[in-house]
Amino acid sequence: MLVPLKDIMQDAVRRRYAVGAFNTVNLEVTLAIVRAAVNLRSPVIVQISEKTIKYAELKPIADVIRTVSRHVGGDVPVALHFDHGRSFAAVRECVDAGFSSVHIDASEQPLENNIAATHQAVDYAHRAGVWVQGELGVIFGKEGLTKLRGVAAARQYLTDPAGVAEYLRATGVDTLAVSVGTLHGAFRGRERLDLPRISAIAKVAKVPLVLHGGSGVAPVQIRAAVRRGIRIINVDTELRIAFTQSLRRTLGKQRGQYDLRTYLGPATLAVQRVVEGKLKVFGSAGRAVSRSR
């Protein structure tokens, strides 16, 4: 059942667990995410990026998420979120298309520009009752790291707890993406979260904190981050890997096979299993309260 992100986060904040925000690109991945949430009675966030909008078109993919939430999700709460909107135009389009939350990512711009762009998005979204995620500090991926020549150099871009309260006040965002040691992509447990930094940010932030780049981070690190105040965790790469590896395996074994369902089915199930594992680690499994509309 599709609900506003606000409804999901109220319970997560009160009971101190994290909600998974999983990226989808098509029907199969959406089914996998929602089936996992139903299996484990967990609230979940389904999100799309600008690249996915280019690939699948905004309204069709948004409708896929809505209809899967309604017809597969049952009474399990599912929220629709726009991940990494780089421009006001993109954010506005998603607000108008009925998303309950949007991320405006102006984090690579100088602070004043970040605040101005984020404030503009908040102004527009809040008039429609839509939540906005801001980002303070820069979260890099592989390309960024090459530019920076390594993980050590990336540390200067971590979120500074001293600037958080002012950023929240100046922008009015509802959730905050923080840079605390994760990277975009799966780095097989090599990422080290800056746990004291998470605690310091959580102390001054009155909004749910979002951890990007949740793929490949060791469960023990994730659990510690949740204890210290992370309330939303983004996972994308691990789902892509599970889907693609399954496809390669099945296609390699069945070269004469032309029924799409025989290889998309196992790939979808592989993604579902990854999501289920995450929901257990995040502490959201079993938290979907029964309700009817």
Catalytic residues: 83
Q: Min. distance of Cβ 52 from Zn ion in angstroms? A: 13
Q: Which amino acid, one-letter code, is at 195?
A: L
Q: Pick the closer one to Zn ion by CB: 73 or 85.
A: 85
Site for Zn ion in 217-276 (CB under 5 A): none
> How far from chain centre, in Å, is Cα 112?
25
Q: How far apart are CA 214 and CA 78, in angstroms?
A: 19
Q: Min. distance of Cβ 291 from Zn ion in angstroms? A: 30
CB atoms within 10 A of CB 167: 22
Handedness of CA 10, 234, 127, 3 (dihedral sign): negative
Site for Zn ion in 199-228 (CB under 5 A): 212
Q: Min. distance of Cβ 255 from Zn ion in angstroms? A: 37
Q: Which amino acid, one-letter code, is at 60?
A: P
Check: CB of residue 239 under 8 Å from CB of residue 32.
yes
Q: Give the helix/strand (H/E) hosting 282.
A: helix 260-282
Q: How far apart are CA 62 and CA 182, in angstroms?
A: 28
Q: Pick the closer one to Zn ion by CB: 159 or 268.
A: 159
Q: Min. distance of Cβ 46 from Zn ion in angstroms? A: 15
Judged by CB under 5 A, the number of residues near Zn ion is 1
Report in angstroms the alpha-carbon separations of 210 from 45, 120, 233. Answer: 12, 20, 6
Q: How far apart are CA 114 and CA 152, in angstroms?
A: 24
Report in angstroms the alpha-carbon separations of 93 from 34, 111, 127. Answer: 24, 24, 14
Q: Pick the closer one to Zn ion by CB: 38 or 193.
A: 193
Q: Pick the closer one to Zn ion by CB: 212 or 278.
A: 212
Candidates 142, 136, 145; CA nearest to 197 is 136
Q: Min. distance of Cβ 48 from Zn ion in angstroms? A: 12
| Residue whose CB is nearest to Zn ion in the complex, by number | 212
Residue with tokens 């309604």: 70
Q: Min. distance of Cβ 71 from Zn ion in angstroms? A: 29
Task: By CB under 5 A, tell whether 81 contacts Zn ion.
Answer: no
Q: Pick the closer one to Zn ion by CB: 212 or 287.
A: 212
Q: Pick the closer one to Zn ion by CB: 212 or 228.
A: 212
How is residue 84 written in tokens? 């990494």
Q: How far apart are CA 70 and CA 85, in angstroms?
A: 26
Residues 6 or more apart whose CB falls under 8 angstroms from that of 145 comprise: 151, 154, 183
Residue numbers of the site for Zn ion (CB under 5 A)?
A: 212
